[in-house]
Structure 1
Amino acid sequence: MTQNKALKAALIVVDLQEDFCPPNGSLAVTNGRTIASVINCLLKLPWTLRVATKDMHPEDHISFASNHPPPNNKPFESSIIIANPHNPDETQTTRLWPVHCIAGSSGSNLIPELAASLLDQIVEKGQDKRVEMYSAFCTPFLKPKIVETGLANTLREKGITHVFCVGLAADYCVKATAIDAANEGFETAVIREGTKGVEQGDEADKKLVQELKQHNVNMVSIDGPEVGKIRDLR
Structure 2
Amino acid sequence: MTSSLPAVPRRALLVIDVQNDFMPGGALAVPGGDLILPAVNALLRQDFDVRIASRDWHPENHVSFVPQGGDWPVHCVAGTQGADFSPRLDQSRLSHIVHKGLDPACDSYSAFFDNDQRHSTGLDALLRGLGVESVTICGLALDFCVAATARDARKLGFDTVIKRAACRGIAADDTICLSDLAALGIKIDAT
Q: 1:122 offset after TM fit, Å?
A: 0.5
Say yes or no: does 1:160 pair with 2:129. Answer: no
**Counterpart for residue 105 of structure 2:** 130
**Counterpart for residue 37 of structure 1:** 38
Q: 1:127 offset after TM fit, Å?
A: 0.6
Q: 1:66 offset after TM fit, Å?
A: 1.7
Within 2, Cα distance between the matches of 1:186 and 1:35?
A: 24
**Counterpart for residue 158 of structure 2:** 186
Within 1, Cα distance between the matches of 2:128 and 2:182?
A: 23
1:81-96 equivalences in 2 (<5 Å): 96=71
Say yes or no: does 1:148 pair with 2:120. Answer: yes
In the alignment, structure 2 segments of 5+ residues that lack a partner are none
Question: For 1:113-165, what per-residue CA distance to the aligned partner results, in whole angstroms no more than 9, with x for missing partners?
Answer: 000000000000001010111001111324xx1x2111101111111111110
Query: Residue 215 of structure 1: which of 181, 184, 191 is its match?
Result: 184
Structure 2 counterpart SS, 1:179? helix
Say yes or no: does 1:26 pair with 2:1. Answer: no
Query: Residue 77 of structure 2: which of 89, 93, 102 is its match?
Result: 102
Within 2, Cα distance between the matches of 1:190 and 1:32?
A: 16
Q: 1:214 offset after TM fit, Å?
A: 3.1
Within 2, Cα distance between the matches of 1:116 and 1:179?
A: 25
**Counterpart for residue 65 of structure 1:** 66
Structure 1 counterpart SS, 2:174? helix
Question: For 1:159-183, what per-residue CA distance to the aligned partner results, in whole angstroms no more than 9, with x for missing partners?
Answer: 1111110000000000001111111
Amino acid at match of 1:117: S
Within 2, Cα distance between the matches of 1:20 and 1:113?
A: 13
1:107-118 equivalences in 2 (<5 Å): 107-118=82-93
Within 2, Cα distance between the matches of 1:140 and 1:35?
A: 25
Cα-Cα RMSD: 1.4
In the alignment, structure 1 segments of 5+ residues that lack a partner are 74-95, 223-234
TM-score by length of 2: 0.93
Amino acid at match of 2:170: V
Within 1, Cα distance between the matches of 2:35 and 2:21?
A: 14
Question: For 1:26-71, what per-residue CA distance to the aligned partner results, in whole angstroms no more than 9, with x for missing partners?
Answer: 1000110111111111111111110000100011101011212xxx
Structure 2 counterpart SS, 1:38? helix
Within 2, Cα distance between the matches of 1:174 and 1:52?
A: 12
Asked whether the equivalents of residues 9 and 131 of structure 2 are also in contact (C-alpha less than 8 Å), the reply is: no
Within 2, Cα distance between the matches of 1:133 and 1:126?
A: 5
Q: 1:212 offset after TM fit, Å?
A: 0.5
Q: Quick check: which has more Rg, 1 or 2?
A: 1
Query: Residue 16 of structure 1: which of 12, 15, 18 is its match?
Result: 18
Q: 1:110 offset after TM fit, Å?
A: 0.1
Structure 1 counterpart SS, 2:132? coil
